[in-house]
Amino acid sequence: MSDDDSDGLPPGRLRIDKWLWYARFFKTRSLAAKTCNDGGVRLSGAVVSKAHAAVKPGDVLTFAQGRHIRVIKVLALGSRRGPAPEAQALYEDLAPPVAEERLEDPYRAPGSGRPTKRDRRAFDALRGEGE
């Protein structure tokens, strides 16, 4: 066994599952490989069906991550799964920024969920009960 990390690929290329894991898009390499094998990743527009597909700087990757579609340009290959700043240097995010979905009012909408004591008292007063 050697420390050679090439996996039989030409110099300047890396397995797509390794790169996605190095760049911290997936928590484990197994999840990255599963996404690739399921056809959930596009490499420069072509669907990737195997985790051993090779990426190189300049390639564009498209894949779903949670509820968002990520469009990523590969800038560097990397040699390890390092800290987040190191991982962010491996790619450029081409997707437009997504606005966070937040409720304007932190309180629940009237009529949704279980009534509060105040709601119950108002309902009882309307029915003429409770006094």
CATH classification of the domain holding 42: 3.10.290.10
Question: 40-62 b/e with 16+ CB inside 10 Å = b?
Answer: ebebeeeebeebebbbbeebbbb
Q: Does the pLDDT of residue 7 top 80, yes or no?
A: no
Domain that includes residue 34, residue range: 14-93
> Residue 86 domain-assigned?
yes
- Residue position matching structure tokens 């894949």: 63
3-state secondary structure at position 68 = strand
Does residue 108 lie within any of the structural domains?
no
Residue 105 lies inside a defined structural domain of this protein: no
Going by pLDDT thresholds of 50, 70 and 90, the confidence category of residue 83 is very high
Q: Is the per-residue pLDDT at 116 higher than 70?
A: yes
* Residue 1 in this model has a pLDDT that exceeds 50: no
Using pLDDT thresholds of 50, 70 and 90, give the confidence band for residue 6. Answer: low
Q: Which of 5-14, 36-45, 107-116, 120-129 has the highest mean pLDDT?
A: 36-45
Residue 73 lies in a domain: yes
Phi (first) and psi of residue 93, to 5 degrees: -85, 115
Q: Are 74 and 57 in contact (CB under 8 A)?
A: yes
pLDDT attached to residue 10 = 74
In three-state secondary structure terms, 64 is strand
- The verdict on residue 113 lying in a domain is no
| Separation CA 97–CA 112 (nearest Å) | 31
Q: 0.75 exceeded by the pTM?
A: no
The answer as to whether 44 is a domain residue is yes
Q: Domain count for the chain, please give it.
A: 1
- Give the separation between CA 80 and CA 93, rounded to whole angstroms: 20
Whether 78 shows a pLDDT value over 50: the answer reads yes
